[in-house]
Amino acid sequence: MCTYLTKSIPLKVSAKGPEGWFTTTEATVYVDHPAHAPADHTLNIDFINRSIGPGARVALELDAAAARALARAIDAALDEAPEGLLP
């Protein structure tokens, strides 16, 4: 079942694709059928810069456990960073 559950945000970060490093302009997060991961549905995250072309994309397909573990790890790393290190 396709959910069409999609969240897009402007996000200017660095990503590394097949052509090397590039700046992204958005991130899209959605639940759908994966293109490659061995699962029926995954949480997919695309980091994109459409102005550069189709090669300026980094995609992740995460099962629910991996997506939740990644979210917890991101929160923990940010919470444990020394005070004043990050804005």
Q: What is the mean pLDDT of the chain?
A: 93
Burial string for 9-20 (b: 16+ CB within 10 Å, else e) reads eeeeeebebeee
Can you give the residue range of the structural domain that contains 10?
6-80
Residue 36 lies in a domain: yes
| 87 domain residue, yes or no | no
pLDDT higher than threshold 70 for residue 83: yes
Q: Using alpha carbons only, give the angle 38, 41, 44 rounded to the nearest 5 degrees.
A: 95
pLDDT tier at 1 (50, 70, 90 boundaries)?
low
Which stretch of DSSP H or E encloses residue 77?
helix 64-80
Q: How far apart are CA 71 and CA 64, in angstroms?
A: 11
Global pTM? 0.86
Query: What domain count does the chain have?
Result: 1
pLDDT at 5: 84
